[in-house]
A and B are shown apart, each in its own frame.
Chain A
């Protein structure tokens, strides 16, 4: 187990290095550097040049890359060209907002998706099953942003049940109970928009998994032993059908984090995705770079997590 994890970690390391290299070069293609926005136009050119030399901006790329990596490892991600404050401060609670949104969506996906898949697999070819299958068909064809717009229009504007933008009510003070409630209330609509479309894959996987497992010999054996039908499903079939879904958990989380760009934009939800779009449109590339790096890092961690989970639920993977 430990051995597998370490080996898997070693695979991630080069990925991380290549990712950082790629983003470093992407950054060098982008206009602007650490002096952008802070230069007074009256300063003579030689002074600027001296400043550049001091900051190491004239060094060859590999030295700049080394400095950049070392700075980041020390927690210095540079300054925002636009807001003139450290990038980490700009990202600040945007990160937590996105994490909350993704977690809430993930919980909803499994909370709704697993029962649907279970029912649809257990009672396959019934009316209920065809309703659920029809829903997954539609869900696969609907882009998330379109569904989000529809939800916003119906539940946000026409019915007026939920707030249409922001992550928290401006009037409540942080730390109080009302604050938490307000945050949750703002999460409901975006999270459901993500989850109701995002769960179709889970439903389909579980459904086909259960239908396949149903015919296995050990299920027949369990029935022959006199295990009750509901126990056959919960204890014997479900556990074995859930393996691929459990293994996809890490990818699912990263997918949610990255895919929230559209939904955050539609609901004007102040998360990382929206921050990314904002920083791109204000040409604040220092922030955008760090965000891409963070998303890439999260994706690597997600893949790692998935593989480790897979090795836990399916021991065949880690046995040599």
Chain B
């Protein structure tokens, strides 16, 4: 191996260590401290359980003579997603947040089945800037449009785009990260240089330019252009985890038994990353809703006839509206805050679940 290659590998190792540290930090961040006191307690909680499972596994089943273990009676480890759910249910704040989220989402999506977007964004010049009253539950905006209806449709649009962008970007980022991390070497090197490049792009500005010059854009193309810049974080995270994971014995065993790379990646590596992927997606969801509402706020998200929560907020850029007509923007502001807080609460609880020492459940 040439000297240069050697150096390169070492650099990569450092990078990996860095990534690991960062990841570890991320994982520990929140409740490391709170758990410090109950740390020993957690340990003692965990130990008897462990012993328990081993005891069940060993005798009885392996009585065949060769000392072979009967695969069927081996206790199965709890799958990652179930640990996440357990943790969320155990954490009362997270559970409460999750229930609020479900209620808001189903209420909004249910109600929009009966509301017509064109009726809500219909301009009524006889009812401009009306405060909340009998006819309009939350008043009207400068175009005489019902704020309540806009709020419902806006929440739906914001949530929809949040889910869509998160789905696309996390999906792509996961595949990209797993491939880079699993294969390593030159492939990883090239793929990560591309990621580095995306990291330094001023993506808000590129999105704004796109929105301006593209003649017709809808929810799908808008989500795609956002996702085109937002997958890199996920890709980096997943790559660093995949690098650690692929060194483990089960991957080697699978390789030795002759499984193809594709099979290993999709049936063995990915299932073991599900926990981290879900956590990452949840935290990204909060961020993406924030980015979308920010873009709509400065007028480069959706057009006014497709309101989002950010569109309602953007009316507050007019001084008169900001100062004297809070009913137009305050509900949207509160909703954004509530949504982001709830999503983050659930995400943080699941992130804690990723570290056995910090689990509550």
Contact = CB atoms under 8 A, between A and B. Distances in A.
Given A18-B197, A212-B28, A265 B202 contact: no
Contacts of B212: 280, 283
16 contacts: A15-B196, A129-B33, A137-B344, A140-B344, A145-B297, A149-B329, A211-B36, A254-B200, A258-B205, A262-B294, A265-B317, A276-B208, A283-B212, A292-B202, A295-B202, A299-B201
A30 B213 contact: yes
B294 A205 contact: no
B200 A125 contact: no
Interface string A1-17: 00000000001001100
B333 A262 contact: no
B290 A143 contact: yes
Instruction: Identify whether the interface residues of B are mostly helix, strand, loop, or mixed.
Output: helix
A152 B322 contact: yes
Contacts of A14: 193
Nearest to B212: A280
B227 to A, nearest CB: 18
A55 B196 CA distance: 36
Contact of A258 (B33, B36, B197, B204): B204
B298 interface: yes
A121 B34 CA distance: 11
Contact of B33 (A124, A143, A152): A124
Contact of B208 (A124, A254, A280): A280
A61 interface: no
Contacts of B30: 204, 208
Contact of A266 (B209, B293, B317): B317
A141 interface: yes
Interface of B: 7, 10, 14, 18, 21-22, 25, 28-30, 32-34, 36-37, 193, 196-197, 199-202, 204-206, 208-209, 212-213, 286, 290, 293-294, 297-300, 313, 316-317, 319, 322-323, 329, 333, 336-337, 340-341, 344
Interface size class of A (residues with CB under 8 A): 35 or more
A142 interface: yes
Given A138-B341, A143-B294, 5 more contacts: A26-B209, A125-B36, A208-B25, A262-B298, A292-B205
A125 B33 contact: yes
Interface string A289-307: 0011001100110110000
A188 interface: no
Contacts of B204: 258, 261
A69 interface: no
B201 A291 contact: no
A279 to B, nearest CB: 10
- In the A-B complex, the 7 residue pairs with the closest CB atoms: A124-B33, A295-B202, A299-B200, A141-B340, A141-B341, A143-B290, A208-B29
Given A143-B340, A149-B322, A280-B208, A19 B28 contact: no
B197 A157 contact: no
B193 to A, nearest CB: 8
Contacts of B294: 143-145, 262
Contacts of B290: 143
A143 B336 contact: yes
A143 B340 CA distance: 9
A262 B294 CA distance: 8
A146 B336 contact: yes
Interface in A262-320: 262, 265-266, 276-277, 280-281, 283, 285, 288, 291-292, 295-296, 299-300, 302-303, 316-317, 320
Nearest to A295: B202
Contacts, number: 135
A79 to B, nearest CB: 19
B341 to A, nearest CB: 4
A296 B200 contact: yes
A18 B290 CA distance: 29
A281 B209 CA distance: 10
Contacts of B208: 276-277, 280
B209 A30 contact: yes
Interface of A: 11, 14-15, 18-19, 22, 26, 29-31, 121, 124-125, 129, 137-138, 140-146, 149-150, 152-153, 157-158, 164, 204-205, 207-209, 211-212, 244, 254, 258, 261-262, 265-266, 276-277, 280-281, 283, 285, 288, 291-292, 295-296, 299-300, 302-303, 316-317, 320
A15 B317 contact: no
Contacts of A153: 322-323
Contacts of A207: 33
Given A205-B25, A211-B33, A212-B28, A15 B200 contact: yes
B2 to A, nearest CB: 14
A208 B22 CA distance: 11
Contacts of B22: 244
Contacts of A280: 208-209, 212, 300
Given A152-B322, A153-B323, A276 B34 contact: no
Nearest to B208: A280
B186 to A, nearest CB: 16
B36 A124 contact: yes
A300 B202 contact: no
Contact of B200 (A124, A138, A303): A303
Given A157-B323, A265-B317, A277-B208, A146 B201 contact: no
B297 A262 contact: yes
Contacts of B340: 141-143
Nearest to A121: B33
Contacts of B299: 281
Contact of B7 (A22, A288, A320): A320
Given A145-B297, A149-B313, A280-B208, A244 B25 contact: yes
Contacts of B293: 143
A141 B285 CA distance: 11
Contacts of A205: 25, 29
B199 A303 contact: yes
B205 A295 contact: yes
A281 B25 CA distance: 42
A157 B322 contact: yes
A23 to B, nearest CB: 9
